[in-house]
Structure 1
Amino acid sequence: MKKTKLFAALLAGALLSGGPSAMACTNILVTKGASKTGSTMISYSADSHTLYGELYYRPAADYPAGTMMKVYEWDSGKLLGEIPQAAHTYSVVGNMNEHQLLIGESTWGGLHQLVDTTGIIDYGSLMYIALQRCRTAREAVEFMTKLVAEYGYASSGESISVADPNEVWVLEIIGKGTKIVDGKNVNKGAVWVARRIPDGMISAHANQARITTFPLNDPENCIYSPDVISFAREAGLYTGKDKDFDFAAVYNPFDYSGMRGCEGRVWSVFRQVTDGMDKYLDHVTGRNPKNRLPLWVKPSHKLTVKDVAEFMRNHYEGTELDMTCDPGAGAFKLPYRWRPMTFKVGDEEFFNERAIATQQTGWWYVGECRGWLPDPIGGVLWFGVDDAAGSPLTPFYCGIDRIPNAYAVGNGNMTTYSETSMFWVVNRVTNFAYQRYNIIQPDVKRAMDRFENRCFAEQPAVDGAAEMLYKQNPKLAIDFLTDYSVNTAQRLFDTWVALDRYLLVKYIDGNVKKEDAEGVFTDNGQGRGIPAMPDFPGYSEEWKAMVKEATGDRLKVVEATGKK
């Protein structure tokens, strides 16, 4: 299949799945034995050109018998139908509930003929309904799969990450298509398989199904729909033996985009934690679909929240896919490529690299679940908005009962600017930095590290104070953690407003003002607000050489030879 057709299929998969978040997200899954503190972790970037960065909050609630819940498609807002409401729902902050249940996802689309046009449970509903009704990862996997069996699955292929303080699971699911008999879809539901990540390992997924063959008799660590293999046979998708059944190969076969734009991101994580990953370069560059990455790897060192956050900020630095090392990076080594994903030169088509950190992220998080602490204290959602490489994380404890205005739903949207929205102020900073990335981004990264490192340093004291209060009265601990989370997020907002102004003053008009200290600009000696002569950093040597090559002698400075 030609690459033009591959990327048309990629776009079609995004449209079939219902919207903007499709084919774009990255998850990293960390088990207890792979983390430095003994926590489980999931990271998730919700990447979309139309998704607004805000922190969803759903308080716990009780409902009378007979109450119905309307189900809206997460991406489009379309009403899909309604289901019976639970008698009691748990509070949810972002993608973590009050019991430290944590969920993320990435869409892979899969075979287009398996989309169920009659289902009413989309992938977003799966996540957020499960968070409101489940306490553990295993319970959530079982609940989500039963829900789609009863009401139908309204999305395309999906990988869903699920963690609690003890276990980390990945669930891969796809519908069974639409076959109407007597007015009903006899293929309602989904085929799926879920695997528990072994303790001490990490996994990742990024818009490509990753579960291949799986154990058929290990219910402690692997569960699957009863018809996951038989349906494939009936649909003419598989003819081999049960033990050789490969879920990903059957329901989401590789194409160039799946290897280069999806598995490449998984590789960028794995190669930072274990040796030997370069042997998969032919796979992640789209040349060898058979040399696929493992589902999980054992990291060479225990990981922290900060480690995982930095993995989410990756642009393939230091590899042959490094996005700063070709002309597409421009004069200032920008590790981003504006969409569309491909471009043509004559009859040839080329690929714009797609790293984990991307400009169109709506929001992202690194969640940690810590079983040695009471639930309201143990679960922390480190949350950010916009591009992860330019977006600082701030902690939200899972037991809090209110959200700061800067992150609240309704404070601006993608077509309405808000001066009090964290999403908009982060976008002001990131989009300014994109203009001269290698010059401005170091200041942004320094501000991010300073804020995050302070939060990490404060965490033991915050945990300890909350534990003492919890022993007296859990409500006191929740009030304390809510105040801490809200006030810390507000401090970050204020810091980023100041950073936005500082960067504009320092880097206006392509110059770089001299500083006596950070934010204290060197005066020209007259004390009247006139700066010293700024620096003119100009362009990189590589860029100047390319300009010379492209223009020949047109820009060359020569001695005048004419006579007066």
Structure 2
Amino acid sequence: DAGECLTIADKQEVWHLEIMGAGKGNKGAVWAAQRVPDDHVSVNANASTIKEIDTNDKEYFMYSDNVFQLALDSGWWDGKQTFRFCYAYAPASRALIAARRREWRVFDLLAPSLQLDPNMENYPFSVKPDTLVSLEKLMTILKDYYEGTEYDIRKNITVKGDSGKMVISPLANPFMNVDELKLHKVNGGWHGYGERNIAVRFTMYATIIQCRDWLPDEIGGLVWFALDNVASSVFVPIYCGVSDLPLEYKTDGRETGFSRKAAWWAFNRLGTLAAQRWGTFRHEIDKTWIPFQEHLLENQATVEQKALQMYNAKNPKNTIKFLTNYTDEWCKKAIDTAWDLGYYIWTKYDGYW
């Protein structure tokens, strides 16, 4: 394994922990961790991002005892140049434009004033956003596929529109498989795979996690959870205090085959249908999911206030029951809506693909 980055967060801090094997034939691991400053955002997109390690700054850096010696012994660092973790242990990852492009995109969406170059080899470990980052903004970023930039892989798949001008074909989609990319002669930062979007068709699930220290844990810990391709999905709230989930969210679908009993299939089916004519179907999806998502976000404060009013630290069962029922209700609504939207698209546009 080339290594892994684990994002570790609690109510006070967020850290990136990068861990790799200890080299061929060696047992154990080597790792480094860097804390994200409280007013910053950081990105890990399948490439190592930890560079210099300040051994005197225990508040922002941690590392394994072997981090320097192993690099020396293995010939991955000469001991003279400045030690940079990513170049000692994962240099190939910094060469991946598919990873770096996503680093750039997140930073550029949140801190456009920095005017970062989309082709840089290295970006800062973290940056301060130009404005406060909302939940809505994070959801939008996770749905992104470089629309409006030169890295949108649909840009050259054009037809003459009703106005007589060339426009992106409604059949062009940002989630093309390898055969479609070959057919349309699409290349990019991911070479024959086009561009590595933030939103991709092979996503299993995505999460946005809130850790809030001004609320009891049962209420303050909240996972916004989306299944399959985020661009055609919706985030539902799952509170830390829930005691159960709908059966559909506990039923495996990917390994056992198509089933209406698995929530994943409702969203995977919708995403697959939407990609067949993205330029048209995306608008049907937006008409459904945007108000659905807005309602959940607008209702969040009211729900949490009710949960807080009934909260008893010694016996929080009423709060747990309330939040479990709320999560259950909206998870089921999301599943039903995904199935219904798929049927609607299938029926209304039969013959358009």
Quick check: TM above 0.5?
A: yes
Q: 1:303 aligns with which of 122, 125, 133?
A: 133
Q: Decide which moves more: 332-341 or 453-462.
A: 332-341
Equivalent residue letter for 1:432 = L
Taking the TM superposition and a 5 Å limit, the aligned residue runs for 1:274-353 are 274-276=111-113, 278-283=115-120, 289=121, 292-327=122-157, 332-339=171-178, 350-353=192-195
Post-superposition Cα deviations, 1:125-145, rounded to whole Å, max 9, x if no partner, equal xxxxxxxxxxxxxxxxxxxxx
Query: What's 1:197 paired with?
Result: 36
1: distance between equivalents of 2:342 and 2:318?
36
Q: 1:444 aligns with which of 273, 285, 291?
A: 285
Q: 2:22 aligns with which of 176, 186, 202?
A: 176
Q: 1:423 aligns with which of 242, 260, 264?
A: 264
Q: How far did residue 382 of structure 1 move? A: 0.6
Structure of greater relative contact order (alpha carbons < 8 Å, 6+ residues apart): 1
2: distance between equivalents of 1:463 and 1:255?
42
SS at match of 1:419: coil
1: distance between equivalents of 2:245 and 2:231?
24
2: distance between equivalents of 1:255 and 1:405?
39
Could you state the TM-score of these two structures normalised by the residue count of structure 1?
0.57
Equivalent residue letter for 2:202 = Q
Q: 1:273 to 1:390 in 2, by over 3 A?
A: same
Equivalent residue letter for 1:355 = N
Q: 1:249 aligns with which of 75, 87, 92?
A: 87
SS at match of 1:508: coil
Q: How far did residue 376 of structure 1 move? A: 0.6
Equivalent residue letter for 1:218 = D
Query: What's 2:107 paired with?
Result: 270
* Counterpart contact for 1:341–1:351, Cα < 8 Å: no
Q: 1:359 aligns with which of 201, 214, 217?
A: 201
Query: What's 1:149 paired with?
Result: none
Taking the TM superposition and a 5 Å limit, the aligned residue runs for 1:9-48 are 17=1
* Counterpart contact for 1:337–1:353, Cα < 8 Å: no
2: distance between equivalents of 1:366 and 1:296?
18
Equivalent residue letter for 2:73 = E
Q: 1:261 aligns with which of 85, 90, 98?
A: 98
Equivalent residue letter for 1:170 = H
Post-superposition Cα deviations, 1:441-492, rounded to whole Å, max 9, x if no partner, equal 1111221111111111111111111111113731111111111101111111
Post-superposition Cα deviations, 1:173-227, rounded to whole Å, max 9, x if no partner, equal 1111343xxxxxxx32211111111110000111000001121111111111121
Post-superposition Cα deviations, 1:97-125, rounded to whole Å, max 9, x if no partner, equal xxxxxxxxxxxx2xxxxxxxxxxxxxxxx
1: distance between equivalents of 2:327 and 2:338?
17
Q: How far did residue 415 of structure 1 move? A: 4.2
* Counterpart contact for 1:466–1:480, Cα < 8 Å: yes
Q: 1:477 to 1:350 in 2, by over 3 A?
A: closer
Query: What's 1:497 paired with?
Result: 339
Say which one has the larger Rg: 1
Equivalent residue letter for 1:420 = K
* Counterpart contact for 1:341–1:352, Cα < 8 Å: no
Could you state the TM-score of these two structures normalised by the residue count of structure 2?
0.89
Size of the aligned set, in residue pairs, is 337
Q: How far did residue 428 of structure 1 move? A: 1.8
Equivalent residue letter for 1:482 = T
Taking the TM superposition and a 5 Å limit, the aligned residue runs for 1:347-496 are 350-410=192-252, 412-471=253-312, 473-496=315-338
* Counterpart contact for 2:218–2:320, Cα < 8 Å: yes
Q: How far did residue 255 of structure 1 move? A: 6.2
Q: Decide which moves more: 466-475 or 485-494.
A: 466-475
> Higher strand share goes to which structure?
1
* Identity in percent: 32
2: distance between equivalents of 1:440 and 1:500?
10
Q: How far did residue 350 of structure 1 move? A: 4.6
2: distance between equivalents of 1:456 and 1:206?
27
SS at match of 1:376: helix
SS at match of 1:490: helix
SS at match of 2:15: strand
